[in-house]
Structure 1
């Protein structure tokens, strides 16, 4: 019985799942959306030389849906050169957006609405 209780606590702690990833580039900005079954805390930092946006997503393990984000960024995106996704620490996934120019990110979370679950939205605007 103790083993079952332990397994349940681990599943609660690390049970969040990414359900979908989307990328919408435009001339004015690029929007990246991560859809999850629960709200997830994120931290971000901007690095320069070269320009990068680093986002850490807490309470998450790397899965194939997150890895799909890499293929969704196309060469003609005006702001993102490429994206890298990896398991930074247990329970923390790191997204690194290599940028074509300096950006001013706006990151926010949307609650479930209609057919969508929780969404983390990254809007990347030029500076």
Structure 2
């Protein structure tokens, strides 16, 4: 079974991005700009956090550990000699309780299961686990 998702954009980093469903409709802004809007890298970070959260919940349920951590994602855009490149993507699982070794195992399995994690399969993506309060 396939579940296609469609987004459209105009104007590049000074344009607009929206989805066919209407769930996203935002001005696109360049990195470092503080006006309202979203960067493509923020969209990638949000997609990974949400997708990974679903994969984590599945694996956590199988392992019998809490399924409610918070997922922090950082996508780094670097500019070298005028060339833009995503050079790093990091996802951190912030769990409020649990055995760190078990949580790390669940996190690793979720990373394998998550379709967006597979987009970052070239080795630039890392997943870490932190136990403590989130917020």
TM surpasses 0.5: no
In the superposition, the TM-score normalised over structure 2's length comes to 0.30
In the superposition, the TM-score normalised over structure 1's length comes to 0.32
Query: Which has the larger share of helix?
Result: 2
Query: Which has the larger share of strand?
Result: 1
Greater RCO, 1 or 2 (C-alpha within 8 Å, sep 6+):
1
Rg bigger for which structure? 2
